[in-house]
Structure 1
Amino acid sequence: MMKSRWIMGVVLSSCLLLASCDDNKAPAETQNIAGALNISEPTAAMDSPSNEALITYEVTRNYAMEKADLLTKTYDTNSVQYVLIDHGRIVVSGQSGKNDEQGQKPLTKDTMYGIGSTSKMFTTVAVMQLVEQGKIELDTPVVQYIPEFTMMDERYKQITPRMLLNHSSGLKGSSTKNAVLFEDNDTYAHDTLLGQLAGQSLKADPGAYSVYCNDGFTLAEILVERVSGMNFTSYIHRYITEPLGMVNTKTPLDSPDTAKMAGLYYPRYAGQLPGEMLNVIGSGGIYSTAEDLARFSQVFTGKEEEVLSVKSAAAMAQDEYKTSLWPDDADNSLEYGLGWDSVNLYPFSEYGMKALTKGGDTPLYHASLVVLPEQDMAAAVVTSGGSSTHDQLLANGILLQALKEKGTISELKPEKSYGAPVKADMPESMLQYSGIYGATGTTINIDITEGGVMSITSEQPPNDSAGIYRYSADGMFHSSDGNVMISFVTEENGRTYLWLRRYASFPGLGQMAISMYNAEKLQPQDLPAETIEAWNKRDGRKYYVLDEKYTSIAYLTLEAVTIDLNVSKQLPGYVLDKRITGPNSAVSELQIPGSKGRDLLGLTFFTQDGVEYFNLGGFILVNEDAVNPFSFAKKSIVTIPPDGYAQWYTISDKDGGKIVKVSMSQNASFAVFNAKGTCIYFSVIGGQDQVELPAGGSIVFAGDAGTKFEISTQ
């Protein structure tokens, strides 16, 4: 979310990206990274504004420069901006990396980056401002403010603004159609949200538990607009960015100057990309700088009460995640407040400090803001490329170095581990936890032997090597290096969860902690023969997206605009995490708090003119059987039909190697993919007048209804 499968990945949640505490926050559960064991107590020293004038922050500045360079050299980051603010003063600020291939566009402190889901903090502050004015009550149903908000599920009438901000609304997830575009600020995703929700049901009772939800914040954006009478962009400028002097904070509706944006690159596509625009602004569409985010952080340390009161800032930092369906307390980087990803961020909890964090990932930009309200300090990191996880770790490190340099802490604590497994006899009752478990867009196979060895493998290709864990004397399963500890919990709702606790170390950057219900046990079901036959025909078939806009970033990779349907071989009655409910339908019924139960959208198939399609979260996809080889003659024409659907074709061996040139209007694009699914040409990016066709590849033409593509070959 983010990132080659971002568009369809958000829908299926194979990855993510608007969300800062997405699945990107946690590396693959089967991967183990070594960590240290010893823990020491710090000696706290009080710092005061009078002492701070004597501090040079030289050690912290050097640390930040070194680690920023590490991001660009080791962690797939193109460029990075970082800032430390202490008691209202920006004391460390810098940048590293490339901004363009020619070196003609220097990085500066004013270079803007997409901040992704860090935008949610602006939405939260806007709602809280209206609460302070008595225009919104956090616990009054949203329908009282947005009368046209309706859903198929009557429980929607119970959804409150608080539930939107703490991810407990029960909304399905992310409406991302036409949301992430190249230099195109089309407001489709915002404008159609209420219509999308009107055709949906809820996945849980409102308020039952918190699970990451982008649509909740787009709905909160609309709430701000309805109550204030202003569009969201105008509102945040008047009441947030202008009072705080955030002159380099924009939204797509400001039509920001792309020359002032950080350069974008994609690993499998040569050259620099056009500017990215994420058009669900309240959920993830704001652009800013590290220094502007540092100014924004002052709202949460009590320095900017004209923007938000100390009382409201404190209310945002309360434990909103603690419902009955949440794992017991453990070191963690995911514990929701209002807007915040975590209000008790590790490793600052090790020092007895309250730390708040919010990060964000778009397909190409990433960001993290970490605030220590009691220390009146914050760090912000924004990057092109990389991930919000790496950004958060750099922000953590900058803050810890500054705290040590100031004498607030005497030393940095070593990394932690749960310890290697201690041999013990496993009770026979543990065998009941073997089976197939589901999380958003995936299923995993858990096998536990009588000897206390547990293996975890993915059901979906590529089937990576098994993660191996051994039963230990503490009643848990441990990885051999001690960084992962797994147990099983059956909650009051009768569902059984795999509880993953993990310390993940990133060489040179630090360690993060994860504690979450990582998957839910699924039960097999019997299906009528007719239903089984219908789904078996789809097993292993590829489906192509037809209605993503021609400027969509999704066309950068074939995997982002196609889905492979794989019926479970080990769990009768399921396709991915979705329970098959009939010959043409399947639904996901997971109830997992945190991030592993997000974006639960069903599949609905239909046939038109003998061609099979299906609807997934508003996207329309077509069966590969309808995608035929294109006959490339000297002159050919492709026309977008009245329904506006993109036209997909395969490239035969006989056409491989041909050189094609395509003429079309501005409201159109085409993309060419090789046999491996790599995009070798996307006309929105351009860079060449003609393209060599790859044998075994594919080509797609997208545009407004009636658009004509004139194709000539050499």
Structure 2
Amino acid sequence: MKWNNPKLKKACLFVTTGALAAVALLGNGPLITVASNTTTNTITSPAGLSAPVRNGPEDVQELLTFADPLFADKMKKFNVAGSNFVVVKDGKVLVSKGYGYADKKKQIPVDSQTVFQIASISKTFTALAAMQLVDQGKIQLDHNIEEYLGGLKIPNKTGKPLTMFDLLTYTSGVDKPDITTYVSPEYVKQDIPTREFLEKHMPTVVRPPGEAYTYDNFAFLLAGYAVENMSGMRYDQYMKKNIFEPLGMKSTSVRFTPELLARLASHYSPAGEFQPLSGHAPTDGPQGSILSTGEDMAQYLLMQLQNGRAGDKQLVSPQSLKQMHTYQTFAEASIPIATVGFEGYYKELMNGHHVVLKGGNMPGHSSLMVLIPEHNTGFYMSYNNDTNMSLEIYEAFMDHYFPETEASPQPAFVELSKEEAKPYTGIYQNTRAFSIRTQFAYENGHLTMEDSTTGKHTLQKINALLFQDELGNKVSFKKGAAGQIQYFYYTSPVGLGVVAESQKMESKPPFADVPSNSKFRTHIDHLQTLGLIQGIGGNRFDPKGTMTQGQFADLLIPAHGWNIFPVAAKANQQQMIQGIPGYHRSKPITRQVAAVMIQNLRQLNVDTKVTLSGSTDAWAVEAVQALVGNGVVDPDTRVQQDGSVHFRSKQLLLRQEACALLDKAFNYYALPIALK
């Protein structure tokens, strides 16, 4: 399945995870102008991109004829102000130029010296630094990472040591991979030491390291700290001495400097609004704080494609570099995910070639680095908004220079019985984006899956661990340490499922005081399985008990599931209580207060045609209408004979009702739900 969905959010999103200079029409369009390094080129928009070149880019003019209208079109589509573009092949820099503006207001063009935050591409530099120390014998990839942390301890519930290899291949198994992701303008001028920060922000290893893939910012921060500790040099100083200076990367830094800030491209939102510069906490961000230019990144690409060599300097051994270019983490044998440091989302876009890549996002900046090692080719780009433009450039580049040489064979499907389907069925939760919960079931002779981001799909079995949906996307399953189906991975370009494998949630014994025929039983069981709600002791739930506003808030935030970033969690806590008079954690919560809190986070469409009976305060009417109009109601809410709905707004919220409202608001794949 080729890239064709503009709603896809970048898999490399969640960092540490567009006046256009070119206005183009693909077709018989007008003359267009493209701002380059120092001059303005005028070209004619062609009727279409030129025919594919099967040997990769070789001729500079042909490359520009391909790239100039492509960037003009995509920058217009994604409202990108400015972008750089670097292409290297066979040890030479073919193109290093800029398009559009680094600063729209001042009309400063992007060129090869424009500085961008490369965000998570920094992870590949951290992996390179770690492999340098492996070459020197200072770090062993398969040893407990705590050996290299100077006494810093990592809580671990699995009994299996966490290693550097696990960190660099995105398989650390920690419960909160973004617990250290602090990005904000307030950190730009602060100096926050890494060790002190880690001591206060430490996740726990809850899955056996190496078992499952999760995009992991914490892992690379910890890996960078190990480099710092074992080298005896602060991370930014190590990178400057051992990577940037040997490569001649004079405009690359882990930290902000006045000289680089003077050349830094402005940051813009997808709508084109100016955004302030954001920094990291801690100050050194091995997971995403590097700044660089197109000229410097060209040298990095060349080293990567020359077995780790730059001139007369061997930065890393060919063996270590090979590990960085070889897939180590797979969802299934046919679905590669990660190397040491790099990744490879969307295998279909590789057109059958071996490709490793890394993307990155900071607020207002995006980057992508792509290597095709077997063809000695690579490209890099950064631009000043956080949209999907880079992936469309990637697809066009691959289709033009490395098209498919032969069509992929169609898989043969095998039957799946109800009994055979049992190991797969149940509820799974994404190990990074906790809001993505997926239900697998057996229906009409097929395995089905449904979640809130991609909808409902029917799956056909290819083999015991690989299925395919009706759109051609693959669903792979993986067994855990106990030999049972424990994870799945979905290759769909819709939603955010690609950021991690999802883990099967263990069903827990039902509460003794919730009758099996209770209309609330399913909702209570769902929230209990997901670990969102607990009983009151002795396997009792107290379904008709009440709760306070604070207790509901503590349940709502994880049910919402977008609390993976500490900054986002804080923002959600503030957002959910907006418009509620006299909110206080100790107050008993009414149904209308719960409705407003849910709507503040869920942002359902308000159905003003919904007629409410009974009494609802004015500040809660729209929220209640939104929930009712979308079917987010508890089983005891009914449509009256006159068509109105009595939501019982001012009654206290019962615990069983809270489960029903939250389950429907955040765990159902399609809204509205029919209200009976």
Aligned-pair distance for 1:157? Answer: 8.5
> Quick one: which amino acid aligns to residue 484 of structure 1?
N
Matched with 1:112 is: 115
Match of 2:419 among 408, 414, 429: 429
* Alpha-carbon separation, structure 2, partners of 1:449 and 1:611: 36
1:313 aligns with 2:321: yes
Q: Deviations over 1:267-312 (max 9, x none)?
A: 46x7422223234520011111233222112222223243223232
Matched with 1:363 is: 363
* Alpha-carbon separation, structure 2, partners of 1:568 and 1:255: 60
Matched with 1:102 is: 105
Match of 1:449 among 440, 443, 448: 443
* Alpha-carbon separation, structure 2, partners of 1:572 and 1:355: 43
Matched with 2:289 is: 285
Matched with 2:274 is: 272
> Quick one: which amino acid aligns to residue 223 of structure 1?
A
When residues 212 and 611 of structure 1 are mapped into structure 2, their CA distance, relative to the original with a 3 A threshold, is closer
1:327-406 equivalent positions in 2, closer than 5 A? 327-332=331-336, 334=337, 336-342=338-344, 347-348=349-350, 350-351=352-353, 354-387=354-387, 390-395=389-394, 397-398=396-397, 401-402=400-401
The answer to whether the 8 A contact 1:175-1:196 is kept is no
* Alpha-carbon separation, structure 1, partners of 2:294 and 2:241: 20
The answer to whether the 8 A contact 2:425-2:440 is kept is yes
When residues 76 and 500 of structure 1 are mapped into structure 2, their CA distance, relative to the original with a 3 A threshold, is farther
Matched with 1:33 is: none
Matched with 1:467 is: 456
Match of 2:482 among 482, 485, 493: 493
The answer to whether the 8 A contact 1:488-1:496 is kept is yes
> Quick one: which amino acid aligns to residue 264 of structure 2?
M
1:277-676 equivalent positions in 2, closer than 5 A? 277-279=279-281, 281-300=285-304, 301-302=306-307, 303-304=309-310, 305-321=313-329, 326-332=330-336, 334=337, 336-342=338-344, 347-348=349-350, 350-351=352-353, 354-387=354-387, 390-395=389-394, 397-398=396-397, 401-402=400-401, 412-413=404-405, 427-429=417-419, 432=422, 433-440=424-431, 441=434, 442-450=436-444, 452=446, 454=448, 456-458=450-452, 466-469=455-458, 471=460, 478-480=468-470, 482-486=471-475, 493-496=482-485, 499=488, 502=491, 504=493, 517-518=501-502, 520=504, 522-527=506-511, 570=523, 572=525, 574=527, 577-581=530-534
Matched with 1:16 is: 14
Match of 2:94 among 91, 95, 98: 91
Aligned-pair distance for 1:119? Answer: 0.1
> Quick one: which amino acid aligns to residue 170 of structure 1?
G
Matched with 2:59 is: 56
> Quick one: which amino acid aligns to residue 195 of structure 1?
E
* Alpha-carbon separation, structure 2, partners of 1:189 and 1:316: 28
Aligned-pair distance for 1:83? Answer: 0.9
Matched with 1:548 is: none
* Structure 1 residues without counterparts, runs of 5 or longer: 1-8, 20-41, 404-410, 459-463, 507-512, 531-566, 585-604, 632-672, 678-695, 698-714
Q: Deviations over 1:331-374 (max 9, x none)?
A: 55x2x2211114996554724xx332222222332212112333
> Quick one: which amino acid aligns to residue 341 of structure 2?
G
The answer to whether the 8 A contact 2:60-2:94 is kept is yes
Match of 1:145 among 122, 143, 148: 148
CA-based RMSD: 4.8
* Alpha-carbon separation, structure 2, partners of 1:342 and 1:674: 33
Matched with 1:562 is: none
TM-score, normalised relative to structure 1:
0.60
* Alpha-carbon separation, structure 1, partners of 2:199 and 2:138: 25
> Quick one: which amino acid aligns to residue 417 of structure 2?
P
TM-score, normalised relative to structure 2:
0.63
The answer to whether the 8 A contact 2:214-2:501 is kept is no
Aligned-partner SS, 1:85 = strand
Aligned-partner SS, 1:284 = coil
Q: Deviations over 1:19-40 (max 9, x none)?
A: 4xxxxxxxxxxxxxxxxxxxxx
The answer to whether the 8 A contact 2:506-2:529 is kept is no
Aligned-pair distance for 1:382? Answer: 1.4
Aligned-pair distance for 1:149? Answer: 0.9
Q: Deviations over 1:458-480 (max 9, x none)?
A: 2xxxxx68334264798986544
Match of 2:235 among 220, 228, 232: 232
When residues 181 and 319 of structure 1 are mapped into structure 2, their CA distance, relative to the original with a 3 A threshold, is same
Aligned-pair distance for 1:81? Answer: 1.4
The answer to whether the 8 A contact 1:437-1:444 is kept is yes
* Alpha-carbon separation, structure 1, partners of 2:254 and 2:129: 15
> Quick one: which amino acid aligns to residue 18 of structure 1?
T
> Quick one: which amino acid aligns to residue 298 of structure 2?
A
When residues 417 and 485 of structure 1 are mapped into structure 2, their CA distance, relative to the original with a 3 A threshold, is farther
Aligned-partner SS, 1:179 = strand
* Alpha-carbon separation, structure 2, partners of 1:231 and 1:212: 25
> Quick one: which amino acid aligns to residue 312 of structure 1?
S
Aligned-partner SS, 1:94 = strand
Higher share in helix: 2
If asked which structure has higher relative contact order (CA below 8 Å, sep 6+), I would say 1
When residues 486 and 216 of structure 1 are mapped into structure 2, their CA distance, relative to the original with a 3 A threshold, is closer
Aligned-pair distance for 1:129? Answer: 1.8
* Alpha-carbon separation, structure 2, partners of 1:358 and 1:495: 32
When residues 228 and 488 of structure 1 are mapped into structure 2, their CA distance, relative to the original with a 3 A threshold, is closer
1:247 aligns with 2:250: yes
The answer to whether the 8 A contact 1:327-1:515 is kept is no
Aligned-pair distance for 1:143? Answer: 2.5
Q: Deviations over 1:415-443 (max 9, x none)?
A: 76958x98x97633366455433224132
Aligned-partner SS, 1:574 = helix
Aligned-pair distance for 1:182? Answer: 5.6
The answer to whether the 8 A contact 1:457-1:467 is kept is yes
Aligned-pair distance for 1:674? Answer: 13
The answer to whether the 8 A contact 1:279-1:285 is kept is no
Q: Deviations over 1:502-529 (max 9, x none)?
A: 47599xxxxxx97985553552543477
When residues 156 and 261 of structure 1 are mapped into structure 2, their CA distance, relative to the original with a 3 A threshold, is farther
* Alpha-carbon separation, structure 2, partners of 1:504 and 1:90: 32
When residues 574 and 196 of structure 1 are mapped into structure 2, their CA distance, relative to the original with a 3 A threshold, is farther
> Quick one: which amino acid aligns to residue 444 of structure 1?
T
Aligned-pair distance for 1:193? Answer: 3.8
* Alpha-carbon separation, structure 1, partners of 2:399 and 2:225: 38
When residues 252 and 582 of structure 1 are mapped into structure 2, their CA distance, relative to the original with a 3 A threshold, is farther
Aligned-partner SS, 2:87 = strand
* Alpha-carbon separation, structure 2, partners of 1:447 and 1:154: 30
Aligned-partner SS, 1:16 = coil
When residues 416 and 68 of structure 1 are mapped into structure 2, their CA distance, relative to the original with a 3 A threshold, is farther
When residues 188 and 92 of structure 1 are mapped into structure 2, their CA distance, relative to the original with a 3 A threshold, is same
Matched with 2:613 is: none
When residues 83 and 395 of structure 1 are mapped into structure 2, their CA distance, relative to the original with a 3 A threshold, is farther
1:43-82 equivalent positions in 2, closer than 5 A? 55-82=58-85
* Alpha-carbon separation, structure 2, partners of 1:417 and 1:92: 36
When residues 256 and 338 of structure 1 are mapped into structure 2, their CA distance, relative to the original with a 3 A threshold, is farther
Q: Deviations over 1:31-65 (max 9, x none)?
A: xxxxxxxxxxx9987x9xxxx9xx52322222222
